[in-house]
């Protein structure tokens, strides 16, 4: 399954295969760092606002696709909040990977993380930062990097297929 997290409220991109779309539809609450999703309700956020199962949804996907406005080489505030609320995808225990300390995976799937950034202009420095961020996120998810693409506008995204 593909899990698509986007800040676009109007989504007109063709998607092949099974997918779930997370986009701004309701008010999303910030992660409060309570770690309830790790110890109180493992795998599920304790804040019930329609986004509490994002970590579980990540555990069911093979492809995690972020579609976001590029904000200083990072994702938009909405996409970041969804990612923060998905911290339950990882386990509170630590493991060494590539010589670095990381949280271990809660689920058995291995995610391929791709990102489609839009905005005009996106500088070369922002592109470099975005590529590094996606690679770091993939490491934290114990996954792999898919494609990282850049577009001048959200309208250009309508020409792609996911």
Structure confidence at residue 139 (pLDDT): 95
Q: Is 7 left (phi over 0), alpha (psi -120 to 50) or beta?
A: alpha
Structure confidence at residue 11 (pLDDT): 87
Structure confidence at residue 154 (pLDDT): 95
Taking only the tens of pLDDT, the chain with its 162 residues reads: 999 999 999 988 999 999 999 999 879 999 999 999 999 999 999 999 999 999 999 999 999 999 999 999 999 999 999 999 999 999 999 999 989 999 999 999 999 999 999 999 999 999 999 999 999 999 999 999 999 999 999 999 998 999
The rounded distance, in Å, linking the Cα atoms of 138 and 4 is: 15
The rounded distance, in Å, linking the Cα atoms of 152 and 162 is: 18
Q: What is the pTM of this model?
A: 0.96
CATH class of 2-159: alpha beta
Structure confidence at residue 26 (pLDDT): 79
DSSP character at residue 38: H
Structure confidence at residue 25 (pLDDT): 86
Locate the domains of the chain by residue range: 2-159
């Amino acid at each position: 399954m593909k899990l698509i997290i986007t800040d676009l409220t109007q989504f007109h991109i063709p998607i092949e295969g099974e997918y779930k779309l997370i986009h701004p539809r309701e008010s999303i609450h910030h992660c409060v760092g309570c770690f309830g999703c790790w110890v109180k309700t493992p795998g599920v956020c304790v804040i019930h606002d329609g986004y509490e199962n994002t970590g579980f949804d990540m555990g069911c996907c093979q492809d995690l696709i972020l579609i976001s406005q590029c904000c200083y080489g990072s994702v938009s505030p909405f996409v970041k909040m969804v990612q923060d609320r998905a911290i339950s995808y990882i386990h509170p225990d630590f493991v060494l990977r590539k010589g670095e300390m990381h949280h271990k995976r809660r689920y058995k799937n291995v995610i391929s993380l791709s990102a489609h950034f839009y905005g005009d202009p996106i500088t070369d420095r922002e592109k470099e930062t975005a590529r590094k961020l996606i690679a770091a996120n993939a490491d934290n998810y114990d996954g792999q990097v898919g494609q990282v693409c850049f577009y001048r506008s959200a309208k250009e995204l309508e020409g792609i297929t996911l």
